[in-house]
A and B are shown apart, each in its own frame.
Chain A
Amino acid sequence: EDQVTQSPEALRLQEGESSSLNCSYTVSGLRGLFWYRQDPGKGPEFLFTLYSAGEEKEKERLKATLTKKESFLHITAPKPEDSATYLCAVRSSGGSYIPTFGRGTSLIVHP
């Protein structure tokens, strides 16, 4: 059974204070690891897909990295508009390709 654990559960940052969110996973045959952003009252919005260890993806102030056991979402010089819940998900052959989600990290960036 696929397992995804995100940490920390909540994170408060000052504007401009860089940090990282962690997503640890246990799967049989990773097909893809996905990062989403979810704003209050909305559905998760897709950010990145990572497929293999060593891969990196960037979008504005966000950079996602992947190892064989975990993924990090690095936030550089965050702004208040980066405040949201960030979700990590995996699809694997062991999980019948079902997207399995972590509980998310709630990020608040103070001005």
Chain B
Amino acid sequence: DAGVIQSPRHEVTEMGQEVTLRCKPISGHDYLFWYRQTMMRGLELLIYFNNNVPIDDSGMPEDRFSAKMPNASFSTLKIQPSEPRDSAVYFCASSSNREDTEAFFGQGTRLTVV
């Protein structure tokens, strides 16, 4: 397996524009997590899915953020409209259906909102 695949790797956009980040989890994994990483706050969980169903989105900062998982092999994180304070590295991670196993991370998307 190629691991968790995220796209794009880098995104630069203007304030107010819509941004869509994409993730393909490891095949067979039932959990999918979206994290945001900044120097100030470290890794923060935004939302996670179990079997394609959003379970906890309490980490999503505002209504400008939304996430979907239409099938087991694809998820998106959308920011609309984007703001400069959204600039961060966004990671997608997946894990198997056992609750005691490690999560595997993608390479991340570095988002810069100017």
Interface centre among B33, B101, B108 (most CB of A within 10 A): B101
* Residue in contact with A42 in the complex, picked from B42, B55, B56, B107, CB distance below 8 Å: B107
The interface bits of chain A over 75-111 (1 if a CB of B lies within 8 angstroms of the residue's CB, else 0) are 0000000000001010101001111111110000000
Q: Which residues of A contact B33 (CB under 8 A)?
A: 98-99
Query: Number of B residues contacting the other chain (C-beta, 8 Å)?
Result: 24
The interface bits of chain A over 8-23 (1 if a CB of B lies within 8 angstroms of the residue's CB, else 0) are 0000000000000000
Q: Which residues of A contact B4 (CB under 8 A)?
A: 43
Query: Number of A residues contacting the other chain (C-beta, 8 Å)?
Result: 25
- Residues of B bordering A, CB below 8 Å: 4, 31, 33, 35, 42-43, 45, 48, 55-56, 91, 93, 95, 99-108, 110
- Residues of A bordering B, CB below 8 Å: 31-32, 34, 36, 41-46, 49, 51, 87, 89, 91, 93, 96-104
